[in-house]
Amino acid sequence: MSDFFDELKAKLEGSNRFIVFPEGTDERILTATSQLGAAGILTPILIGEKSKIKQRAEEIGVDVSSCKIMDPSEFEEFELMVETFVERRKGKVTSEDARQILLDENYFGTMLVYMNQADGLVSGATHSTAETVRPALQIIKTKEGIKKTSGVFIMVRGDEKYVFADCAINIAPDSQDLAEIAVESAVTAGLFGVDPRVAMLSFSTKGSAKSDETERVAEALKLAKEKSPALLIDGEFQFDAAFVPSVAEKKAPDSPLKGDANVFIFPSLEAGNIGYKIAQRLGEFEAVGPVLQGLNQPVNDLSRGCSSDDVYNLALITAVQSK
pLDDT digits (tens, 9 = 90+) for 265-317: 999 999 999 999 999 999 999 888 889 999 999 999 998 888 999 999 999 99
pLDDT of residue 79: 96
Residues 17, 116 contacting (CB under 8 angstroms) = no
Distances (CA, A) of 63 to 27, 60, 312: 12, 9, 15
pLDDT-based confidence at residue 91 (cuts at 50, 70, 90): confident
Pairing of strands 120-123, 150-157: unpaired
DSSP state of 280: H
pLDDT of residue 129: 85
Average pLDDT over residues 72-96: 94
Residue 60 has pLDDT above 60, yes or no: yes
108-154 pLDDT tens trace: 999 999 999 999 999 999 998 889 999 999 999 999 889 999 999 99
The sign of the dihedral angle between the CA atoms of 52, 55, 59, 63 is positive
Q: Write b or e for each residue in 13-39: b if 16 or more Cβ atoms lie within 10 A of its Cβ, otherwise e.
A: eeeebbbbbbbbbbebbbbbbbbbbee
Share of the chain above pLDDT 90, in %: 85
pLDDT-based confidence at residue 177 (cuts at 50, 70, 90): very high
Among 62-66, 105-109, 303-307, which is the least confidently predicted range?
303-307
Name every residue whose Cβ is closer than 8 Å to that of residue 201 and which is 6 or more positions away in sequence. 217, 235, 236, 237, 238, 239, 242, 264, 265, 266, 267, 271
Top mean pLDDT of 81-85, 207-211, 303-307 is at 81-85
Average pLDDT over residues 15-22: 95
Share of the chain above pLDDT 70, in %: 99
- The pTM for the full model equals 0.88
Which residue segments constitute the domains of the chain, with CATH numbers given?
3-141+297-321 (3.40.50.10950), 150-281 (3.40.50.10750)
Question: Residue 65's CB: how many other CB atoms inside 10 A?
Answer: 10
> What is the C-alpha separation between 187 and 189, in angstroms, rounded?
5
pLDDT of residue 2: 66
pLDDT of residue 119: 97
How much is the mean pLDDT over the chain?
94
Residue 1 has pLDDT above 60, yes or no: no
Overall size of the chain counted in residues: 323
pLDDT-based confidence at residue 197 (cuts at 50, 70, 90): very high
pLDDT of residue 15: 87
